[in-house]
A and B are shown apart, each in its own frame.
Chain A
Amino acid sequence: MRFVAETRHQAGGNAGCPPGIISEVTITSEIRDRRPSGRGPLRGKVTSLEVLCLLLVLALVLQDWLIGVLDAPQLRTASTVFVAVCVQAMPFLVFGVLISGAIAAFVPASALRRLLPKKTALAVPVAGLAGVALPGCECASVPVARRLMQQGVPPAVALSFLLAAPAVNPIVLVATAVAFRDAPMMVPARFVGSLLTAVVMGWLWTRFGKAEWIAERALRKFEEKEGVSRWTVFTETARHDLVEAGGFLVLGGVFAAAFNVLVPTAWMETLGAQIVLGVVVMAFLAVILALCSEADAFVAVSMTALPLLPRLVFLVVGPAVDVKLFALQAGTFGKSFALRFAPATFVVAIASALVAGVVFL
């Protein structure tokens, strides 16, 4: 058994420190070397295991109090929406990390390079179209895009895939067709609008993007280790991605639940009846509601007070940028990436949706 004290930097770490202070200290070989070998747990150190136990015991002890606090109708609604967003998204995230793990373990970087056109400008639309093959919602595509980058795919290409996959795959298109039975042109409009968003963002990144915006950890090359089986690489990568991305997904769920309760939806629905205002309102609504891309068509179809164009904007913006996705991206690629990428995507998605809307609707 391996014991590493995480709070090594807090000499004689105190037992009562809150979880926020516990930060992980790198397990570098230097520290590992200093670790006294053959000893049991280091006395007087608090690790995340103890913190977890403490939190669980506290939660159990305070259970009745917690339930009492959450008894207000709004808080009850918010907590239900929070659990719903997490529960709904988890299977898709698991699916995404399994694919990510499989790419890391079984797809050599050279194979990916052979598959994609050499020129990034050409590879971007190809990657966008490849999104058709990932049947999931947006949570699945973030870990996959990151793994593609690590395997040497140019960031612009991986990002194009990231934006296209949740919106152009067959499941989402069928859902859209079912929801908009009365307006079948919404399906090609959505497909083109989303693909356009992905391709334009890919090209913009090729032209203006800087590698240093993406956190170094996301781009770090995957090293082939001698003597480690592919199965181990697969499961360890999937586990690691799941733990990391899962945390941010939950954070996104907290935001989505808060907005769901705090933003007066009824008021926004009335406001949206004007076409220009409608486009803006629906774009923001798409960001803060953070609906799964397989469900958003059903919500959009129910907003009958609005013309089709604002609803198309809602469908194109939602899978490309929303609070849940922003949290996931910030966690995966770093804050300085997400702060630039998300607003740019927001603008490009609105423009693409308007173009697609003018052509198809």
Chain B
Amino acid sequence: MRRETQNILLILLGGALLKLSFTDMYLRYVKAGLQPLLIAAGAVMILLAGLAIVRDLRSPKEAEEAHGDHEHRSSRSPWMLLLPVLAVFLIAPPALGADTVNRSDRNAAQESKSLNGFAALPEGAVIPLSLGEFVTRTAWDDSGSLDNRVVKLTGFVVRKNDSTYVARLAISCCAADASPIKVRMTGAGFDSMPTDQWVEVTGKVVPGSATKETAYVPTFTVAEIAPVATPVDTYES
């Protein structure tokens, strides 16, 4: 591949990284903490390619000989760089959803046992909780602090076999390591919600429903369910 083409590919790829990090799109793939690194990586790519282009325009021969190995071989691997560029600019794959949740039977959140016990739940008629905290409490908190409390959960609708769940994915680094957190819904109102629709559900846990037999997936009696807009960062950590 010619130097010129390589440089254009590098600029495109750097541009793709910058576009992701400036538009919140990067949150579909990685954690928020990576943003500065992504911006730096994109900038370095564009800078390296830009310097090479400037050098070629000034004195073609010197730049070519600057790095010890001339490309004395056919190299097709740089063409692969086009794939992420096209994927980001044209397809912009969505954040992971129901399909990923159904790939695993695990329920991730209950596995990280809270070290210092559980803090008291806030007062109030309706307690907003993350799915992760809700599942962890149902699995590990023996004091029954959640029983008879009205809780509000946010997640997307997942269907498997005859059950309907409200679920989220937890990532620790990037979407490749996503693991599901889910809560089974009973009651009414969720049948009309399409799969992958983001919802806010209010209701109560069925006490003692998160057991080894249910793979620590608690059951949740839905009192109210309402569709909401997809959040900017769909993952829990």
Contact = CB atoms under 8 A, between A and B. Distances in A.
A152 B22 CA distance: 42
A1 B104 CA distance: 56
A269 B87 contact: no
A150 B71 contact: no
Given A23-B76, A87-B30, A236 B108 contact: no
Contact of B48 (A82, A87, A242): A242
B142 to A, nearest CB: 18
Contact of A291 (B69, B95, B173): B173
A90 interface: yes
B52 A235 contact: yes
Nearest to B108: A302
B71 A2 contact: no
Given A47-B2, A257-B176, 13 more contacts: A24-B74, A55-B82, A73-B98, A73-B99, A76-B93, A77-B103, A82-B87, A83-B28, A94-B40, A94-B44, A236-B63, A248-B80, A251-B77
Contacts of A63: 90
15 contacts: A2-B56, A2-B61, A26-B71, A48-B5, A49-B8, A67-B91, A80-B94, A90-B17, A91-B41, A104-B68, A179-B172, A217-B73, A236-B67, A247-B76, A302-B112
A84 interface: yes
Nearest to A89: B174
A232 B98 contact: no
Contacts of A25: 74
B229 interface: no
Chain A contact residues, majority secondary structure: helix
A22 to B, nearest CB: 8
A1 B177 contact: no
A299 interface: yes
B68 A220 contact: yes
A237 interface: yes
B98 A242 contact: no
A211 interface: no
Contact of B174 (A27, A28, A88): A88
B219 interface: no
B62 interface: yes
A49 B9 CA distance: 10
Nearest to A295: B173
B52 A246 contact: no
A150 B67 CA distance: 12
Nearest to B44: A94
A247 to B, nearest CB: 3
A340 to B, nearest CB: 20
Interface of A: 1-2, 4, 6, 19-20, 23-28, 47-49, 51-52, 55, 59-60, 63, 66-67, 70, 73-74, 76-77, 79-88, 90-91, 93-95, 98, 104, 150, 179, 181-182, 217, 220-223, 225, 227-228, 232-233, 235-240, 242-244, 246-248, 250-251, 253-254, 256-257, 260, 264-266, 269-270, 289-292, 294-296, 298-299, 301-304, 331
B78 A84 contact: no
A128 to B, nearest CB: 24
Chain B contact residues, majority secondary structure: helix
A52 B5 contact: yes
B82 A4 contact: no
B62 A228 contact: yes
A182 B113 contact: yes
B79 interface: yes
B179 to A, nearest CB: 5
B58 to A, nearest CB: 11
Interface residues of B, number: 83
Given A80-B95, A85-B176, A236-B52, A302 B111 contact: yes
Given A67-B91, A94-B41, A246 B78 contact: yes
Nearest to A137: B173
B5 A87 contact: no
A302 to B, nearest CB: 5
Interface string B164-203: 0000000011111101000000000000000000000000
B220 interface: no
Contact of B111 (A4, A150, A301): A301
B132 to A, nearest CB: 12
A87 B38 contact: yes
A80 B196 CA distance: 15
Q: Which 10 A-B pairs have the closest CB atoms?
A: A295-B173, A247-B77, A298-B172, A84-B175, A23-B74, A88-B174, A2-B60, A84-B29, A91-B37, A73-B99
Contacts of B106: 266, 269, 302-303
Interface centre among A6, A26, A82, A90, by most chain B C-beta atoms within 10 angstroms, is: A90
B104 A83 contact: no
A86 B79 contact: no
B209 interface: no
